[in-house]
């Protein structure tokens, strides 16, 4: 894996690159992490898809991972940032895949520029995406404590009792470490952006998207339960919904093989002639 060192509005932005360099005739897959995350959330997914010959771009959102700047305070502002980053990367047409916060970002970005989106995957999504006021307050006052709460709720029972598919990987501690490392209020801003994104805006964006779409939901997800995505699934004209058994909110690390299968299927649908 390598990286693209980009600038968005004069502020450094980090984008992980796996697979071939971006090419104009092949839309890259763009993986968008959730609140408190960074590109490493996708490491089990991106490498396998890159091995198939897919160009995979995984940006760190502002204030997260290796990207500088402050996390935008709204989903629309974050969508503006994303398209500027993709322009800087030379990615004119893409397949967008987002997890949790990243799913709302992918949805809003696709609704703003549907002609630039060949496919859309929404992982662990919900509309509206409710966030507990207590979690919001904790994220503002004590981000590491908020990270501990999120880590406790974000994983299914199996992964919290040593069920990681990667030997030696203590998944919950890895996720907590990444969340706790956010800076400059990025965790609180991300959670607030989720809570503030109107259901009507999301449904309007969905109605403008004609590209193949996939909703990947975790059967044991306590943060974005599958029932919370039903209206969104119905609003996307070409949506398929897959619910992953024995899986909580952090599906990329809990059930990476199922996520890879879903994304491979979406990439095939996106590449099929219209």
Higher pLDDT, 274 or 128: 128
User: Looking at residues 110-135, what average pLDDT do you find?
Assistant: 96
Q: Is the pLDDT of residue 251 over 60?
A: yes
**Structure confidence at residue 163 (pLDDT):** 47
User: How high is the pLDDT of residue 147?
Assistant: 78
Helix (H, G, I), strand (E, B) or coil at 21: coil
d(CA 248, CA 154): 6
| Weakest-pLDDT range from 67-81, 144-158, 204-218, 240-254 | 144-158
Query: Distance of alpha carbon 63 from its chain centroid, rounded?
Result: 15
Give the predicted TM-score (pTM) of the model. 0.91
Compute the distance between CA of residue 91 and CA of residue 198 in angstroms, rounded to an integer: 28
Q: Which two tokens stand for residue 41?
A: 């959330």
Domains in the chain (CATH in brackets) are 2-271 (3.40.50.1820)
Tokens of 261: 């299968």
Express as a percent the part of the chain with pLDDT over 90. 70
Distance (Å, rounded) from C-alpha 40 to C-alpha 209? 28
Residues with Cβ within 8 Å of 88's Cβ and at least 6 positions away in sequence, in order, are 6, 7, 8, 13
Asked if the model's pLDDT at residue 169 lies above 60, the reply is: no
Residue 205, both tokens? 């964006």
Please give the pLDDT value at position 167.
Answer: 42
Given a cut of 90, is residue 149 above it in pLDDT?
A: no
Residue-level pLDDT at 209: 98
């Amino acid at each position: 894996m390598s990286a693209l060192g980009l600038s968005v509005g004069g502020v450094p932005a980090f984008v992980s690159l796996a697979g071939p360099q971006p090419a104009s005739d092949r839309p890259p897959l763009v993986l968008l992490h959730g609140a408190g995350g960074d590109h490493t959330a996708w490491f089990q997914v991106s490498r396998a898809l890159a091995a198939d010959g897919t160009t995979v771009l995984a940006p760190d959102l502002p204030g997260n991972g290796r990207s500088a700047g402050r996390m935008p305070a709204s989903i629309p502002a974050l969508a503006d940032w994303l398209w500027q980053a993709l322009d800087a990367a030379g990615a004119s047409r893409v397949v967008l895949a987002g997890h949790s916060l990243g799913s709302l970002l992918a949805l809003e970005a696709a609704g703003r520029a549907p002609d630039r989106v060949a496919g859309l995957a929404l992982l662990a999504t919900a509309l509206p995406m409710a966030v507990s006021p207590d979690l919001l307050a904790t994220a503002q006052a004590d981000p590491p404590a908020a990270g501990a709460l999120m880590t406790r709720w974000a994983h299914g029972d199996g992964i919290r009792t040593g069920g990681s598919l990667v030997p030696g990987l203590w998944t919950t501690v890895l996720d907590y470490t990444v969340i706790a490392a956010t800076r400059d209020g990025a965790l609180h801003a991300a959670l607030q952006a989720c809570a503030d994104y109107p259901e009507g805006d999301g449904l309007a964006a969905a109605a403008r998207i004609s590209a193949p779409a996939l909703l990947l939901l975790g059967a044991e997800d306590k943060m974005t339960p599958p029932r919370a995505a039903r209206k969104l699934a119905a609003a996307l004209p070409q949506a398929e919904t897959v619910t992953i058994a024995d899986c909580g909110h952090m599906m990329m690390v809990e059930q990476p093989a199922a996520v890879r299968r879903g994304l491979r299927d979406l990439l095939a649908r996106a590449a099929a002639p219209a």
